[in-house]
Chains A and B, each alone.
Chain A
């Protein structure tokens, strides 16, 4: 496989090692960066994330990474994959821990999961769950249309009003499990933790 020039954004919040380990397994030699200049000049970005939205947003802002990401993606056209909190950070805003503004790359807001049957649907949503991908979604190429991926989250985006390709998970409500539009890709689940399915999805992203 060709070496991909992928830069993993390090803002002190991600499960960095897991992501790097998966990329290396796929034959990549990922760079890790917390420098705005390097991020602006990267062709391919990965925004991981484990943590709370507000803290993560603050960390990105403090290091000037928020503007660098937006510039790389919206002006330079670099592709980006946001994972879990990384996906949420790409939204317009989040109501976690008081309202905070996101990067605005995905026109949707992040709110707490509100499953209708609270007794059977526990929060956080933790474990492998089925993801129903839209036909033709690049990330899911070669995977079953109801492939399983690992989720661990309490907040989510909803698919309403989005014009890109969505993948949906039904956990008492239908939320946005993955999204792609042009050079913007995001997964609420953790592909780096989703065994064979996750590795195939990451490979699909790298091949874009």
Chain B
């Protein structure tokens, strides 16, 4: 049986990792900070996937981002998706050569220039993660925003979801700008924007404050994976504890037997 996924999303801005609240960024620390507070070669046994997004406001430096991605993913044996401003096949290829298995696209989804199709034809549809940023409006509907929440798109959210689904994308990453970084829990209203016959995996993001929120997300049958980008909520062994809480409450997550690996490789090697 296919297991559900717990995803950790990292937001990168010009050399630093960030906390985002309603898409306003606050600097947390460099790669060194991240490594010392999360130690990815260890926490990768607590998550099922890592997403790393270059959300740099202003001009991005793709080569520096790729270099950080390489360092971050060394010793981290989970699937990794990366993105941020990807508009060329070469940019996608560089991410895939720096530790990413999948490429996350957002603003380029709305540019109607055939790029998403090219990306899928080059790397396969399964390689393309479509990230959509939603904002609730007071009448109960939603708007879609591009360019890291700077540009509001005309038309209903349903229309944009439908358009994205017509592109050759592998999965959808639905993010709530209102809940982003608030710790109030997911906005399940985003799932109602999807057509009933959705055949692509859905990742829900935006608003997680604790393990209960993650469990609520995974309990929805429309959700295949839950993501959190909150660097402070899960610092230290927070992700490990959250995962244990989810598994204890009966959520179907994959199980990793670190002892078995130690038997095969020697405890010393695994511990490093």
Q: What residues make up the interface of A, taking CB atoms closer than 8 Å to B?
A: 1, 12-18, 21-22, 25-27, 50-52, 55, 85, 97, 118-119, 121-130, 142-143, 148, 150, 152-154, 171, 190, 192-200, 203
Contacts and interface: CB of A to CB of B under 8 A. Distances in A.
Contacts of B265: 1, 26, 199, 203
B116 to A, nearest CB: 14
Interface of B: 1-5, 44-45, 48, 70, 73-80, 93, 96-102, 120-127, 170-171, 197-201, 224-225, 254-258, 260-261, 263-265, 269
A126 B224 contact: yes
A152 B2 CA distance: 11
A127 B199 contact: no
Contact of A126 (B96, B99, B201, B264): B201
A126 B81 CA distance: 12
Contacts of B70: 17
Contacts of A154: 124-126, 170
Contacts of B93: 12
Contact of B101 (A124, A127, A129, A193): A193
Nearest to B197: A119
Contact of A195 (B78, B125, B201): B78
Contact of B97 (A16, A123, A127): A16
B122 A190 contact: no
B64 to A, nearest CB: 16
Interface on chain B toward A: helix, strand, loop, or mixed SS? loop
Given A126-B201, A195-B78, A200-B260, A52 B224 contact: no
Given A119-B197, A123-B200, A195-B45, 13 more contacts: A14-B96, A15-B99, A15-B101, A51-B124, A97-B121, A124-B171, A148-B254, A152-B127, A153-B124, A195-B77, A195-B256, A197-B257, A203-B265
A195 B3 CA distance: 14
B75 A21 contact: yes
A42 to B, nearest CB: 21
7 contacts: A14-B96, A52-B124, A85-B124, A124-B201, A148-B3, A194-B77, A203-B264
Given A52-B121, A55-B122, A196-B256, A17 B225 contact: no
B264 A193 contact: no
Nearest to B80: A18
Centre residue among B2, B125, B127, B200 by max chain A CB count within 10 A:
B2
Nearest to A1: B265
A51 B122 contact: yes
Contact of B254 (A12, A55, A128, A153): A128
A97 B97 CA distance: 24
B101 A195 contact: no
B261 A126 contact: no
A127 B201 contact: yes
A62 B113 CA distance: 28
Interface on chain A toward B: helix, strand, loop, or mixed SS? mixed
A138 to B, nearest CB: 14
Nearest to B169: A124
B73 A21 contact: yes
B258 A129 contact: no
A13 B4 CA distance: 28
Contacts of B122: 51-52, 55
A137 B254 CA distance: 22
A15 B126 contact: no
B79 A152 contact: yes
B101 A190 contact: yes
Contacts of B200: 122-124
Given A50-B101, A128-B254, A148-B3, A193 B79 contact: yes
Nearest to A21: B74
A194 B96 CA distance: 17
Nearest to A196: B261
B3 A127 contact: yes
B213 to A, nearest CB: 20
A125 B224 CA distance: 11
Given A15-B96, A21-B74, A196 B199 contact: no
Contact of A142 (B79, B99, B199, B264): B264
